[in-house]
């Protein structure tokens, strides 16, 4: 569920968070803390980053974000530092510290991570409304929508639907259809070997992957391992030598942040994945 907006006047904005709670935002906002790498990227992309005074440890892009003080991550938070930074709003994509921060009399906007490309566009629009950067937000949205139209046009000629295994880490954690990445895979007209009843982020076994025999394997590990090392490691997993993706050398590595992070760079991530899956179409 994404935030919905009710504009009372030019200086007051009511936004419903992902729990359905109404959060009143008094504009202009001058001091923001973001506990969301995707939202942090959106702020930079719409030129609202001057408001950012604190971030979570995972908000590491663009590089200029690294100069902003870290106030916590998904596992811990420094409440003292948050108070010292005197934020007008704290944006959370998980609700672990929601009540702790609210108890400091600091407004908190909790928006769950986007589960679809459409929700990413809604989040960009929301940021534009919050920071009065509507024109910049619409330009960003238009650029992403243009890429999606180009993708759809290219895929019109595609027949068949290759099966795909999308690996988050070497522990064989993967993604289901009802996730953000699942939505992207559907847009790319591939068949996810993970089924709806497997869950959103299931851990597969060797046997399950061998049985479902993916045509393509995409490795989106957060580690910086080189593709050659990862491909060799995957190829030597017990029984994987008979998997179609292995025998046909269709193992690819992607920058995990481009595709796992539901922010402005999905335009690049979707394009890069499409080129890996359909190389002939992009020749």
Percent residues over pLDDT 90 in the chain? 75
Residue 1 pLDDT exceeds 50: no
Residue 216 pLDDT exceeds 80: yes
Secondary element (H or E) of residue 273: helix 266-277
- How far is 89 from 34, CA to CA, in rounded Å? 9
Tell me the pLDDT band of 225, cut-offs 50, 70 and 90: low
Cα–Cα distances (Å) from 251 to 5, 141, 185, 187, 276, in that order, read 43, 31, 16, 20, 9
Contacts of 145 (CB under 8 A, 6+ apart): 121
**Residue 43 · residue 32 · CB < 8 Å:** yes
Residue 3 pLDDT exceeds 70: no
Residue 2 pLDDT exceeds 70: no
Single pTM value for the model: 0.90
Average pLDDT, the chain: 90
Cα–Cα distances (Å) from 238 to 147, 171, 205, in that order, read 39, 14, 11
- How far is 185 from 192, CA to CA, in rounded Å? 7
Q: Which of 91-95, 150-154, 200-204, 231-235 has the highest mean pLDDT?
A: 200-204
Is the Cα dihedral 74, 80, 83, 87 positive or negative? negative
- How far is 231 from 249, CA to CA, in rounded Å? 9
Phi, then psi, of 88 in degrees rounded to 5: -80, -20
Q: What is the pLDDT of residue 157?
A: 82
Size of the chain in residues: 283
- How far is 8 from 29, CA to CA, in rounded Å? 16
**Residue 29 · residue 35 · CB < 8 Å:** no
pLDDT digit string, tens, across residues 106-118: 999 999 999 999 9
The residues pairing with 164 across neighbouring beta strands, listed in sequence order, are 192, 216
């Amino acid at each position: 569920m994404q935030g919905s907006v009710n504009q009372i006047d030019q200086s007051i904005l009511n936004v419903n968070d992902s729990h359905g709670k109404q959060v009143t935002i008094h504009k202009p906002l001058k001091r923001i803390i973001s506990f969301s790498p995707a939202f942090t990227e959106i702020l930079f992309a719409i030129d609202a980053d001057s408001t950012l005074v604190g971030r979570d440890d995972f908000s590491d892009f663009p590089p200029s974000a690294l100069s902003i003080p870290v106030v916590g991550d998904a596992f811990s938070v420094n409440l003292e530092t948050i108070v010292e930074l005197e934020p007008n709003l704290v944006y959370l994509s998980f609700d672990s510290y929601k009540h702790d921060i609210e108890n400091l009399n600091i407004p908190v906007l909790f928006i769950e991570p986007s589960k679809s490309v459409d929700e990413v566009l809604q989040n960009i629009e929301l940021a534009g409304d919050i920071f009065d950067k509507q024109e910049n937000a619409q330009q960003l949205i238009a650029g992403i929508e243009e890429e999606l139209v180009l993708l759809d046009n290219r895929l019109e000629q595609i027949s068949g639907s290759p099966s795909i295994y999308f690996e988050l880490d070497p522990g064989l954690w993967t993604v289901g259809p009802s996730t953000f990445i699942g939505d992207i895979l559907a847009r790319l007209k591939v068949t996810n070997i993970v089924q709806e009843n497997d869950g959103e982020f299931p851990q597969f076994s060797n046997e399950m992957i061998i049985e479902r025999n993916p045509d393509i394997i995409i490795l989106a590990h957060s580690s910086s391992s080189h593709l050659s090392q990862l491909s060799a490691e995957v190829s030597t997993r017990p029984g994987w030598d008979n998997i179609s993706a292995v025998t046909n050398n269709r193992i690819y590595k992607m920058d995990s942040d481009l595709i796992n992070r539901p922010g402005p760079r999905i335009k690049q991530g979707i394009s890069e994945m499409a080129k890996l899956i359909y190389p002939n179409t992009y020749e």
